[in-house]
Amino acid sequence: MSYAITKLSPNFFYITLTTKPTAEEDKTYVSSLQKIITEAPEPVYFLMDFRQHITSEISTIVRLSELAKHKNFGFSAAFSSDRIRKVYSTLFTSLSKQQGPKTMFESAEGAIEQLEQIKPGLTENIDLKAIIK
């Protein structure tokens, strides 16, 4: 599976893509996120690791942007230094109308800082350095 979704706390998830996802993997991924978001009792937040890959399927990005409009979607912040991945991330942000000064960062530290500004205490007691390698 190209996607790995790691639950760090009841409302905080770390997502990585290890290989270019297939169309079937994209569908499974969107379904998994939909379940997480719709079943959550409170808004959920996502730290997206795009250093290795990102979906480039426009239909998947559109479906993800629709999920981001759900009342239980808190915020997502991504990181990667790849310019093309930044373009796809910007497309998601535009389609989802996600609020916040910035959603894509060069490093994990920048993304984590943004999440902490949006939801203070979100990463408290989580050893992100051990998780993000």
Q: How many CB atoms are closer than 10 A to CB 55?
A: 24
pLDDT for position 104: 74
pLDDT band for position 66 (50/70/90)? Answer: confident
Contact status, residue 6 vs residue 45, Cβ threshold 8 Å: no
Cα end-to-end distance, the chain, whole Å: 19
pLDDT for position 64: 80
pLDDT band for position 5 (50/70/90)? Answer: very high
pLDDT band for position 7 (50/70/90)? Answer: very high
| Number of domains composing the chain | 1
pLDDT for position 28: 93
Which residue segment(s) compose the domain that 33 sits in? 3-131
pTM of the model: 0.86
Q: What is the CATH number of the domain that holds 49?
A: 3.30.750.24
Say yes or no to pLDDT of 86 above 70: no
Q: Exposed, middle or buried: residue 23 (CB in 10 Å: 0-12, 13-18, 19+)?
A: exposed
| Averaged pLDDT score across all residues of the chain | 84
pLDDT for position 11: 96
Contact status, residue 44 vs residue 71, Cβ threshold 8 Å: no
For the stretch 21-39, pLDDT in tens is 888 988 999 899 999 999 9
User: In sequence order, what E strands does the chain have?
Assistant: 3-9, 12-17, 44-49, 73-79, 104-105
